[in-house]
Structure 1
């Protein structure tokens, strides 16, 4: 069951999960309560009356455009891989359309492929903006030790790309890099090809499990951060958007097409 949370008592339910998932202090309920009273949205997923996931967003405004800024999405680790995050996002879309929005914006780490697959391949959001060290130095369990680079995702709620679930040509994208394993069996960035034509799609490979790589080799994880940062920014500067994440057995690859939105 997915429910919209509106009272102070209901909003307190998400605080324990924030600490559990991110090892960080939760957002004060007086802030989330004020947000949901003024165009924001807190949704929670329940299993047998136990909260197992939530999404939180508040109103945003930029370049004469209003939207919902979707700030947090969390699923209890024991309930992952059950499409709870995806269901929360689709319900979020339904509710905010009723509130008058036609776009949701959020950020995520492009090297976290679980998030990339949900955002681009399942929801059909798009990205053409890269933010270096978006939140500065972070100390929580998932982010500490590396620059907090982020993709800024735009979910155009009523676009044909979303409503008709546009299929992307995955077979003819030109690869800009490759992944090889080093002597320790860890993924290494290989390749220096640049995008040279406006007429083709491109792909960029990333590690499949970045958190595991960070634990085993922080130096190699930083190398991936900096090298993919350069390639992502080159593609966005050339007018491309990230529109899909294709997942393989040991790595994943982003697909980029010329920006239309």
Structure 2
């Protein structure tokens, strides 16, 4: 079986497990459903929506990627992406949102991967908040994407209930679609990361606050907070401390040429020096 055919089969299987049908969206009424879904997730300030109807019309019309997951007639997930450089090789996934707890996000990403491979593309990129543990685990462990750049205050001020009051540091995740570990992850056959001997902890936690550790190892662990979104509401000072600590530890290591190679179930980035 070709990689394109295998990816299509993996996407269809994931959609069946989630109880949804996923398809590209092309009509204004469909894009209005996406706006309503995203508003329920992010509750953004007017004019600061993740994707407007007009943007989705333009993207879909010009051959980019806009898709939705339906449970019957109800839209329960959607993703919006656009072709990126180098030309003919990449898709940038701008925003994905879905109902949680059913594997719909995973099914959407596998549909996106199958679509990209069918277009002859080799990678998909997106950004995410390095402090949000569940997203890091999903992106790195569940999908097999790898963070390749630490982007400080990437979006500036963000006017939504999830990001309000925090700086918008992001990791650029790159999903290299044909890599063996990605193929295994999309088949739900990925193995949990195994830490080599001599691993050191560059950032840990004590009393739910970040504590700097050692940075002299070849393989290092960088801790994330348990739930930074709640922390932003209940203890903004602690959330700010985590932002700056992860920026210094993870961002500093990546700036120095280290690579993120995994993410543990208990919330550590695995970082390896060359």
8 Å CA contact retained: 1:68, 1:105: yes
Structure 1 partner of 2:78: 54
Provide the C-alpha distance between the structure 1 equivalents of 2:261 and 2:66, rounded to a whole number of angstroms: 27
Deviation at 1:8, TM superposition (A): 2.4
Q: Distance in 1 between matches of 2:103 and 2:195?
A: 23
Counterpart Cα distance in 2 of 1:127 and 1:114: 15
Q: Which of the residues 60, 69, 75 maps onto 2:92?
A: 69
Q: 1:157 deviation in Å?
A: 0.5
Shift of 1:53: 0.9
Could you tell me whether the CA contact under 8 Å between 2:203 and 2:246 is conserved in 1? no
Listed as ranges, the matches of 1:165-184 within 5 Å are 165=185, 167=191, 168-170=193-195, 172=197, 173-181=199-207
Give 1:11's aligned residue.
31
Give the equivalent residue in structure 1 for 2:14. none
Q: CA RMSD in A?
A: 1.8
Gap regions ≥5 residues in structure 1? 182-186
> 3-state DSSP class of the match of 2:85?
strand
SS at match of 1:114: helix
Q: Is the 8 A contact 1:208 1:247 kept in 2?
A: no
Displacement of 1:258 after TM fit?
A: 4.2
> In the alignment, which residue of structure 2 is the partner of 1:36?
60
* CA deviation vs aligned residue, 1:144-179 (integer Å, no higher than 9, x gap): 111100000000011223124464323643211221
The answer to whether structure 1 residue 146 and structure 2 residue 166 are counterparts is: yes
Structure (1 or 2) with the greater strand fraction: 1
Residues 1:161 and 2:187 aligned together: no
CA distance in 1, matches of 2:133, 2:90: 25
Which aligned pairs between 1:215-254 and structure 2 lie closer than 5 A?
215-248=233-266, 252-254=267-269
Residue 116 of structure 1 corresponds to 136
- Structure 1 runs of 4+ with >6 Å offset: none
Q: Could you list the runs of 5+ residues in structure 2 that have no partner in the other structure?
A: 1-20
Aligned to 1:21: 41
- Report the equivalent of 2:6: none
Q: Distance in 2 between matches of 1:161 and 1:241?
A: 16
Number of residue-to-residue matches in the alignment: 244
Is contact 1:124–1:243 with CA below 8 Å preserved after alignment? no
2:204–2:213 Cα contact (<8 Å) kept: no
Distance 1:124 1:138, change over 3 A: same
Alignment partner of 2:178: what SS?
coil
What per-residue deviation string (whole Å, max 9, x for no partner) do you get for residues 112-151 of structure 1?
1111111001000001201100000112101111110000
Residue 184 (structure 1) aligns with: none
- Which residue is equivalent to 1:190? 211
Which of the two has greater helix per residue? 2
Please say if residues 212 and 245 of structure 2, whose CA atoms lie closer than 8 Å, have aligned partners that are also in contact: no
Equivalent-residue separation in structure 2 for 1:193 and 1:206 (angstroms)? 16
TM-score by length of 2: 0.83
CA–CA separation in structure 1 for the residues paired with 2:132 and 2:38: 18
